[in-house]
């Protein structure tokens, strides 16, 4: 090839190698991470990824993309770069911060994966963090007054719980009773997965501190409510609307936590002796009416399926973020899937484990990858979530352990 001749370009297969997360905590002064920095949570995740994958030299990491919804304080300052430095990666490894609200980590994955497919990177670390105790969603934000003066959005669009109530209005058959039943099942499935050892191996222990109690160690998720019952759920208040449908029991709470994963070109993963947890098939992001942001995963899934040539019948496992039960129910109804379909969130979801906003996408992916390892009968799975300000996000994955035939 002459010096003036451009190298031919091709797309490469991208694989999810490994994913880990901190235990998720409850936001607030009594939460396990109340006095622990957000960036330290990310550092712990990055270090653990490298520890668990010793055949990956640190200098082969080409990019670190870390998402945070509220990019201030200890989860600001271009946290992908600062966390990479704090984690001890070579100073030659760049990093950046990303924000797509709840789909931040999911976008960190698709963005770096696209770079890998394109040939700009070989290996990347992608993840997210949210310390909602230190930084409530929207802290320091200054929404443009035109949003309301020109009626570009309704005021409820900026209150996620209100958008969930709006979704109940749009689909009145999605009753509070159905939402509560789905929430109870999430708690029960999560508890069973923990008891079976399916949830736990991906957790990274985190040293915590308290001015009053001294040092501690976070080893398990704090949000789950194992004593949940339908009777108890029925008594909960509806904080977003009098006589509404959304409660603290059928929605994810306010949480702190971090996630991270290693992505690589498939041939590079094989060269380095890295595991291949799953293979990226395609993805879709869409915008919807901000007032009913919970419907977002429906069109984003339709887009991802159309772009990949798949149908909903091809999907054998669904990891759907449970920001609100009604959002998942709207998705299931649209695609004709039963509320208790065993393919859906088989290990429970965010209603039980928590939803630290920008970090949650990689939790979904990590769980799907681990489920693929147990299910060689399943070829395709998807991870999907609704996104604040009216968006939906879906990523479709292929199981490398699939034992079927074409």
Give dist(CA 357, CA 353) in Å, integer: 12
Instruction: Establish if 147 belongs to a structural domain.
Output: no
pLDDT tier at 396 (50, 70, 90 boundaries)? very high
The predicted model gives 401-405 an average pLDDT of: 87
Q: At what angle do helices 176-195 and 325-334 cross, to 10 degrees?
A: 100
* Residue 261 annotated to the active site: no
Residue 162's pLDDT is 95
Enclosing H/E stretch for 394: strand 391-398
Please check the confidence at residue 335 and state whether its pLDDT lies above 80: yes
Summarised one tens digit per residue, pLDDT across range 150-167 is 989 998 988 999 999 999
Summarised one tens digit per residue, pLDDT across range 18-74 is 999 999 999 999 999 999 999 999 999 999 999 999 999 999 999 999 999 999 999
The predicted model gives 109-131 an average pLDDT of: 98
Residue 148's pLDDT is 87
Query: pTM to 2 decimals?
Result: 0.96
Give dist(CA 169, CA 91) in Å, integer: 52
Instruction: Establish if 304 belongs to a structural domain.
Output: yes
Residue 200's pLDDT is 97
What does the DSSP 8-state code read for residue 36?
S
Summarised one tens digit per residue, pLDDT across range 336-361 is 999 999 999 999 999 999 999 999 99
Residues of the chain above pLDDT 70, percent: 99
Catalytic-labelled residue, pool 102, 131, 135, 261? 102
Residue 311's pLDDT is 98
The tokens describing 324, both together, are 């609100």
Instruction: Establish if 4 belongs to a structural domain.
Output: no
- Residue 402 CB partners (closer than 8 Å, separation 6+): 376, 377, 378, 379
pLDDT tier at 248 (50, 70, 90 boundaries)? very high
CA 347 to chain centroid, in Å, comes to 15
Residue 406's pLDDT is 59
Instruction: Establish if 70 belongs to a structural domain.
Output: yes
Enclosing H/E stretch for 215: strand 214-218
Residue 313's pLDDT is 98
Residue 8's pLDDT is 73
User: What mean pLDDT value characterizes the chain?
Assistant: 96
pLDDT tier at 10 (50, 70, 90 boundaries)? confident
Residue 383's pLDDT is 98
Count Cβ neighbours within 10 Å for each residue of 122-141 and write b for 16 or more, e otherwise.
Answer: bbbbbbbbbbbbbbebeeee
Instruction: Establish if 336 belongs to a structural domain.
Output: yes
Residue 249's pLDDT is 97
* Residue 355 annotated to the active site: yes
Please check the confidence at residue 1 and state whether its pLDDT lies above 70: no
Residue 9's pLDDT is 74
Concatenated DSSP letters of 133-189: TTS-TTTT----THHHHTTSS-GGGG-HHHHHHHHHHH-TTS-HHHHHHHHHHHHHH
Catalytic-labelled residue, pool 131, 135, 168, 355? 355
Residue 6's pLDDT is 75
pLDDT tier at 2 (50, 70, 90 boundaries)? low
Count Cβ neighbours within 10 Å for each residue of 363-390 and write b for 16 or more, e otherwise.
Answer: bbbbbbbbbbeebeebbbbbbbbbbbbb
Overall number of domains in the chain: 1
CATH number for the domain including 206?
3.40.47.10
Enclosing H/E stretch for 351: helix 350-353
Instruction: Establish if 139 belongs to a structural domain.
Output: no
Summarised one tens digit per residue, pLDDT across range 179-213 is 999 999 999 999 999 999 999 999 999 999 888 88
Residue span of the structural domain in which 35 resides:
14-132+153-394
- As beta bridge partners, residue 396 has 282, 382
Catalytic-labelled residue, pool 135, 168, 261, 386? 386
Q: 243 in the Ramachandran plot: left (φ > 0), alpha (ψ -120 to 50) or beta?
A: left
Using only C-alpha atoms, the chain has a radius of gyration, in whole angstroms, of: 20
Yes or no: say if 365 and 16 are a contact pair by the CB < 8 Å rule: yes
Instruction: Establish if 324 belongs to a structural domain.
Output: yes
The predicted model gives 86-91 an average pLDDT of: 98
Instruction: Establish if 73 belongs to a structural domain.
Output: yes
């Amino acid at each position: 090839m002459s010096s003036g001749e451009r190298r031919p370009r091709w797309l490469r297969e991208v694989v999810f190698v490994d994913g880990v997360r901190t235990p998720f905590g409850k936001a607030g002064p009594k939460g396990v991470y109340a006095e622990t920095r957000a960036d330290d949570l990310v550092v712990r995740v990055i270090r653990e990824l490298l520890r668990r994958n010793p055949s990956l030299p640190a200098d082969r990491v080409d990019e670190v993309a870390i998402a945070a919804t509220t990019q201030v304080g200890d989860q600001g300052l271009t946290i992908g770069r600062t966390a990479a430095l704090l984690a001890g990666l070579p100073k030659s490894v760049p990093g950046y911060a990303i924000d797509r609200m709840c789909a931040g980590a999911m976008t960190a994955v698709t963005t770096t994966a696209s770079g890998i497919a394109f040939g700009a990177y070989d290996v990347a670390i992608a993840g997210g963090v949210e310390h909602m105790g230190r930084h409530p969603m929207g802290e320091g934000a200054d929404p443009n007054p035109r949003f309301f003066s020109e009626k570009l959005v309704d005021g409820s669009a900026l209150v996620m719980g209100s958008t969930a109530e709006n979704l109940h209005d749009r689909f009145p058959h999605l009753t509070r009773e159905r939402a509560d039943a789905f929430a109870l099942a999430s708690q029960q499935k999560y508890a069973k997965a923990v008891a079976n050892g399916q949830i736990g191996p991906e957790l990274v222990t985190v040293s915590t501190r308290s001015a009053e109690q001294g040092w501690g160690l976070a080893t398990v998720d704090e949000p789950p409510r194992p004593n949940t019952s339908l009777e108890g759920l029925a008594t909960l208040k509806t904080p977003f609307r009098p006589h509404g449908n959304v409660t603290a029991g059928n929605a994810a709470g306010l949480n702190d936590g971090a996630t991270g994963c290693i992505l690589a070109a498939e041939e590079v993963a094989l060269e380095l002796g890295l595991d291949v947890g799953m293979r990226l098939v395609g993805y879709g992001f869409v915008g919807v009416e901000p007032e009913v942001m919970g419907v977002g995963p429906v069109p984003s899934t339709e887009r991802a399926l159309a772009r990949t040539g798949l149908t909903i019948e091809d999907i054998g496992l669904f990891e759907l973020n449970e920001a609100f039960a009604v959002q998942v129910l709207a998705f299931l109804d649209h695609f004709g899937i039963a509320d208790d379909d065993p393919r859906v969130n088989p290990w429970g979801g965010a209603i039980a484990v928590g939803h630290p906003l920008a970090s949650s996408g990689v939790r979904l992916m990590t769980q799907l990858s681990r489920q693929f390892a147990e299910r060689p009968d399943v070829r395709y799975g998807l991870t999907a979530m609704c996104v604040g300000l009216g968006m939906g996000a879906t990523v479709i994955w292929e199981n490398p352990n699939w034992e079927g035939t074409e």
